[in-house]
Amino acid sequence: MKRAIKGCWRNNHARFFWGIGVIPLAVLLIVGATLIWIAYDEYNQAQEFEFRLLEAHARNADVQITEALGQIDHLLNQLAGQIAGDYQNRHSPQNKIFAAVLDRHKNDIPELGTLLLADAAGRILAATDTAIIGRDVSHELYFTSHLDSGLTPKLLMSRPDKHLLGTTAITFTLPIVNARHQFLGIAGATIGFKFFPDVLQAINPDDSASMSVIFNRDGDLVYRREEPERYFGKNIAKVSTIFREHSRAASQMTRHIGPSAHNGKTRLFLVREVGDTGLGFILSRQLDEVLAKWLRNVVIYTLIFLLTIVAAVWFAFSAARRKQLEAKIIDNNKRLREIEQRQVLSQERQRLMQDMHDGLGSSLTSALRVVEHGRMDETEVAQVLKGCIDDLKLAIDSMEPVDADLLLLLATLRYRLGPRLESTGIALRWEVISVPKLDWLNPKNALHILRILQEAFTNIIKHTHATEIRVATRVESDHVVVTITDNGQGFAVENALKSGGKGLSNQMRRAEAIGAEVGWDSNDAGTCFTLRLPIIRGPTIE
């Protein structure tokens, strides 16, 4: 006995502590996983937001660089155009023409280093820096690239070098071509490390997303935000992982995350090429600045998780205390449901017994009395017994679930009465169409409908001598209408109702019990019986 009590005590406590542990653990796993997912999603969103911000800055930078290069291109086009025009109608030596044109435009863009004009042989005839006048540039790429007369005149940019001025500079050149496409020379302009800082506005200077570097397609730096003079002309093709990754991507704009070559800190990098100018630039933002708000959120999520642990433990102990009470409530509810189920079964049994007593029992009793007095032959007895069997089958069919489907109920009736109609030589035309479901169509109401329709068929078979019966359905407003029409002998409806016959009165009583209406329209051509069933039923008389 003691062992049994001790074993029961241990089992109860094991279930108790199991209930305490599983629910909090599941809650903590769900909350933890959710917070991790939220943190991860916010991490990606923070990066995505910052990259989109860098892209907005990049569009601004693209416009500024394009405008700066456009100014150089416009100036050199003016020089080339005026040289070509004055050269065609010249009245003075070539070097004077070049010098005169250059003198008119030497102050158009103050940020430029040197303006120069060279003839077709590559000799500089005019320049704002007089030290380079007479210099031969015919071997330079920015000169030789223009010698093909079939090419469209295009602005070319050299790599940074010291060949021309003795200091590192980039040279932009444009060919001078006359109306006959004859090459007359080049117009050029040089820029140094001060050009881009002077002509470009700071891009969002209050944060670290300002312009980092501008480079050409060979990887030469033409601008760097920190120490622009020192890094002007330096090549980053071999030392910059970001530049190499962008070059391999072969895309106008790429995103990167990696260490900065300046201080080794992880940064976000956006690399964008400026159209077909041969220039590109890099914008960057320090990652720890981007993730500052995210890190604060992570701290908040950690606190939420810790509070969840406390709440889960409290909930587990509270749930354990409520467990016994809930078990009692569940047991009581189960007993109530069993009692209700027994009551429903008892009521259904009483209903079937009452219906069988009123229908099947009454028919058998009447038939027995007639047979005892010798007033019914075998054929009539067989018909009475068939009717009783049909009554019994309909009572059983009414117990089958029909899911509020009137058509299913009518199909059951057709299945039961079809052989009887066929044996009497009456043709059945089935013109039933789809109708709305009747939510109130439970087994009790289904039996009422079956009895009403059965009585209509029985009256036709017994009294009308019909050869055809047509069953149809339709929808009228908020009612479903079932009609049974025969081509037999009609009858006086009012007289039949006044005579006190049980058939028609039973139909009316059953119809009233389910909130329905019945009606008859009879003449010499036949009778039409109508059953109107409400789609949504109100209070009824049971």
In whole angstroms, what is the distance from residue 123 CA to residue 133 CA?
Answer: 8
Residue predicted with more confidence, 149 or 82:
82
pLDDT tens digits for 290-306?
888 888 989 998 999 88
Other CB atoms within 10 A of residue 527 CB: 23
- Per-residue pLDDT band for 143 (boundaries 50, 70, 90) equals very high
Q: Which fold has domain 405-534?
A: Heat Shock Protein 90 (3.30.565)
Top pLDDT among 318 and 357 is at: 318
User: Tell me, what's the pLDDT at 328?
Assistant: 83
CA distances from 312 to 30, 31, 229, 306, 309 (A): 12, 10, 63, 10, 5
CA distance 137 to 116: 11
φ, ψ at 398 (rounded to 5°):
-65, -20
Question: In the structure, what pLDDT confidence band is assigned to residue 395 with cuts at 50, 70 and 90?
Answer: low
Is pTM beyond 0.85? Reply is no
Q: Residue 31, Cβ neighbours under 10 Å: how many?
A: 18
* Whole-number pLDDT of residue 122: 92
Q: What is the pLDDT of residue 275?
A: 87
For residue 320, the model assigns a pLDDT of 72
- 145, 162 in Cβ contact below 8 A? no
What is the pLDDT at residue 372?
Answer: 63
Q: Return the structure tokens found at 524.
A: 């010499």
| Domain residue extents for the chain | 1-290, 405-534
pLDDT at 445: 85
Class of domain 1-290 (CATH, top level) = alpha beta
User: What is the tens place of the pLDDT at every residue in 165-182?
Assistant: 889 999 999 998 887 888
Q: What is the mean pLDDT of residues 58-74?
A: 89
The whole-number average pLDDT for the span 65-82 is 87
Judge contact between 472 and 432, C-beta under 8 A. Answer: yes
Nearest to 482 by CA among 470, 496, 494, 497: 470
User: pLDDT category, 273, cuts 50, 70, 90?
Assistant: very high
Closest CA to 519 of 509, 508, 506: 508
H or E segment and range at residue 186: strand 183-191
Range 95-113 average pLDDT: 78
Taking only the tens place, the pLDDT of each residue in 184-208 is: 899 999 988 888 887 776 554 445 5
